[in-house]
Amino acid sequence: MLLPLVLLSPMLPLGLALVACQPAADPEASEALMAKLDSNEQRLSAIEAKLDAVGTKLDQTVQSLAPLVEEAERERAREAEREARRAERVAERDARLAETRARLQALGVDGEDLDDAGLDADAPVPSDRTIEGAAEGIQCEAPSGDRWECTIDRAFLEHLLATPALLSKQARIVPGQRDGRIVGYKLYGIRPDSLPKRLGFKNGDMLVAINGIELDSMEKAMNMYIKLRRATSLEIELERKGVPMTLDVDVVK
């Protein structure tokens, strides 16, 4: 044991001198540094807590939206199936219409008569049902140029207005548009002995105004429908293949 001590004894003064040269630690600086470290650690902990809370909310949101996303996917699939079925029905209808037109043309029926019968590409084939009382309730004079006159029995008109389901089956009404805005309402698929047929309308006619009121919106069209019950006369402006025409209707008792 003495030998190692003897060997190290000359180095002891040098080691003590090195220790003596080290600067003494500042207690206040150390405490300030520790305080900063603690503060930073607390901030990091707060940030981590906020991130955890945000992550939890995101997880909850994703879970709550999952059923809605699944339902939307199912609805898109159902709509695709419905669209496919509609396309099949339209194709079948068009084929039947084309076949019917070909047969009628072979029998010598001209194109205008076919359009009057509702056998156009956009209209369903009308049935042979007649509207009861139409023959007696509506009387029209032969057209004179671009204008013609009709009379309609008020009792018959009120019967039609009181039966919207019956009225809606007499023709198909679709908005007519120009430059992206409604300018009237077109008639297609007019049934035999219906109100529009008896009044002299043809498939493709577009109603543009009644008693000076332009039918350029659904609201105006519905307001005019309501006013029909009190009307005693009507001036109906329409377009037929782009040509302006006028129908004067007197409501009689």
* Positions in the chain short of pLDDT 70: 1-25, 94, 97-98, 100-131, 164-165
Instruction: Give residue for tokens 């548009």.
Output: 177
Bridge partners of 238, per DSSP, are: 207, 245
State the Cα–Cα distance between residues 130 and 128, nearest whole angstrom.
Answer: 6
Please say whether the beta carbons of 214 and 237 come within 8 A: no
State the Cα–Cα distance between residues 115 and 121, nearest whole angstrom.
Answer: 9
Please say whether the beta carbons of 246 and 235 come within 8 A: yes
Q: What is residue 246's predicted lDDT score, i.e. its pLDDT? A: 96
Please say whether the beta carbons of 207 and 236 come within 8 A: yes
Single-letter residue type at 214 = E
Single-letter residue type at 33 = L
HEC profile of 14-56: HHHHHHHHCCCCCHHHHHHHHHHHHHHHHHHHHHHHHHHHHHH
Q: β-pairing, 233-240 with 213-214?
A: unpaired
Residue 191 belongs to what H/E stretch? none
For 79-136, what is each residue's pLDDT tens digit?
A: 777 777 777 777 777 677 667 666 666 655 445 544 544 444 444 434 444 567 777 8
Structure tokens at 106: 């072979």
Single-letter residue type at 191 = R
Q: Looking at domain 134-252, what is its CATH homologous superfamily?
A: PDZ domain (2.30.42.10)
State the Cα–Cα distance between residues 125 and 169, nearest whole angstrom.
Answer: 12
List the chain domain ranges: 28-109, 134-252
Single-letter residue type at 38 = D
Q: What is residue 107's predicted lDDT score, i.e. its pLDDT? A: 55
208 contacts: CB under 8 Å, gap ≥ 6 = 183, 184, 214, 215, 237, 238, 239
In angstroms, the first-to-last Cα distance of the chain is 142
State the Cα–Cα distance between residues 185 and 216, nearest whole angstrom.
Answer: 8
